Amino acid sequence: MKTILEMVMAFLCVIGIATILWVVLGWTVRPVFCSPVMVVIPAKGDGGQLEAQLMGLSWLRAMGLIQGEAILYDEGLTQKGREVALHLALRWQWVSCCPNGMLEEWVAHTDT
């Protein structure tokens, strides 16, 4: 019984040390001060992957790893895809939709 208890305690100590090392490593490689970034996501077809991509960016924003905005650039969206993109832009204020052929003007406008 004593041996099993010692094994369980040793296992828990190893897990605890690994967790502490993981957290310390995460804090050392995490950017201390991050400047805003502009992420351009090419949007095609029915926009099926847009929500997943924006959820990933949302997670990074919530963790404080990035700041800035995302631009959904229309590279041949269908009508359904445009509706999805507009819905996502309404859902998150840091997301905007850019029409096809207008990316340079859009970036220049949002940069000022």
Which pLDDT belongs to residue 90?
93
* Strand segments (E) across the chain: 37-45, 68-77, 95-98
> Has residue 107 got a pLDDT over 80?
no
Q: What is the pLDDT of residues 7-43, one digit of tens each?
A: 999 999 999 999 999 888 877 776 666 678 888 899 8
- Residue scoring higher pLDDT (55 or 105): 55
Instruction: Report d(CA 102, CA 106) in Å as an integer.
Output: 6
- Residue scoring higher pLDDT (112 or 61): 61
Q: What is the pLDDT of residues 39-92, one digit of tens each?
A: 889 988 888 889 999 998 898 888 777 888 899 998 888 999 999 999 999 999
Query: Residue 69 in contact with residue 95, Cβ under 8 Å?
Result: yes
Instruction: Report d(CA 36, CA 112) in Å as an integer.
Output: 13
Which pLDDT belongs to residue 94?
92
